[in-house]
Amino acid sequence: MGIKITGIGSYIPKGIATNESFESNAFYNEDGSAINHDTTVIIEKFKSITGISERRYVENELNNSDIAFFAAKKAIEDAEIDQETLDYIIVAHNYGDVKHDSTQSDTVPSIASRVKHLLGIKNPNCVGYDLLFGCPGWVEGMIQANAFIKAGIAKRCLIIGAETLSRVVDKHDRDSMIYSDGAGATIIEEVNEEGGIISHTSATYTLDEAHFIYFGETNNQEVNDNRKYIKMYGRKIYEFALTNVPSAMKTCLDKAGVSIDDLKKVFIHQANEKMDEAIINRFYKLYNRKTPEYIMPMTINKLGNSSVATVPTVYDMVLKGKMEHHSIEKGDYVMLASVGAGMNINAILYQV
């Protein structure tokens, strides 16, 4: 018996924001001082570090709960199940529903309740709740659902990661170019076959790291703007991730007693291309191995950082043959890993 993904779906917004669309932005440092470089130079440097050339934004009329619903519907259809048999709907996000041109996040009712309503599920015993765990939220939702099923309090769960970060970015902050929108969803349940979730690990670092990602004011102190925007200390996050994520991944793999040589793919949260490449190289170095080619499917170039949606979206794309050089087959071992606000880290070893 194994607890496995039996259905998966994702929603990639239609709106494309290229790097060139930021050329009219005036960028400022955190202290309010202007960045004394031509905007095109700033964008070129940004591209060389992050690997991002474009990202996806939701249409103005859509909210986070809408795209979460779209991904959920696809996952339910893919699993070919009766949605009334779902025991839990877990929605990972960070900012709720933020309407276009709004100054307020809306989280009442929960995004999970809104998704259940949009799906038209009548069963009151299908419990919906939201999970705030930074970018690793969807992976953590998978870990929680796995625990529910193992404990016998659930048989079938829907786990969604959805975010509309385009609604909470400061156009005067260079980091605004990292963020994007999207949603990914999975159905997991116990099945009569081996594999599924083999092992997992999670950690929260808060002594010095709690506020590496936070909500703050615009960098442009010359404008009258009371809104709060997503902010981060990029260098600190980079150093934190390189120090802690590879060891967490190793802990997860070692728990399972599976050789790193048997690992087919690593699906990792994507916020910075160079950071992810450094993480995967350090991970393999812990085993005195050279990083295999095509081990880590990357979508950041075109899709940007969609937070909780990144890992399930990339997994969905590879599973359905939408990424060149990448495929997985039944019996393959893959790792799902993420790092983000909290600061939180988690990883799952999964056998397809």
Q: What percent of the chain has pLDDT over 90?
A: 89
On the question of a cis peptide bond just before residue 312, with omega within 30 degrees of 0, the verdict is no
Give the residue-averaged pLDDT of 23-52.
Answer: 89
CATH, range 2-193? 3.40.47.10
Query: What is the average pLDDT across 82-97?
Result: 97
Work out the number of other CB atoms within 10 angstroms of the CB of residue 24: 8
Q: Which pLDDT score is estimated for 31?
A: 86
When pLDDT is cut at 50, 70 and 90, the band that residue 151 belongs to is: very high
**pLDDT tens sequence across 194-232:** 999 999 999 999 999 999 999 999 998 888 888 889 999
Q: Which of 75, 104, 91 is nearest to 162 (CA)?
A: 91
Peptide bond into 343 cis (omega under 30): yes
- pLDDT reading at 103 higher than 90: no
Instruction: Note the pLDDT of residue 224.
Output: 84
* The predicted structure's pLDDT at residue 68: 98
Contact 232/210 with Cβ under 8 angstroms?
no
The phi, psi pair for 192, rounded to 5°, reads -85, 60
One CATH from 3.90.1150.10, 2.40.160.40, 3.30.70.141, 3.40.47.10 for 198-351? 3.40.47.10
Mode of pairing for the β-strands spanning 88-92 and 54-57: unpaired
Q: Could you give the CA distance from residue 233 to residue 9 in angstroms, rounded to a whole number?
A: 32
pLDDT at 222: 85
Residues of the chain with CATH 3.40.47.10: 2-193, 198-351
Mean pLDDT of the chain: 95
Residue 60 has pLDDT above 90, yes or no: yes
**pLDDT surpassing 90 at residue 190:** yes
pLDDT in tens, 314-347: 999 999 999 999 999 999 999 999 999 999 999 9
The pLDDT value given to residue 318: 97
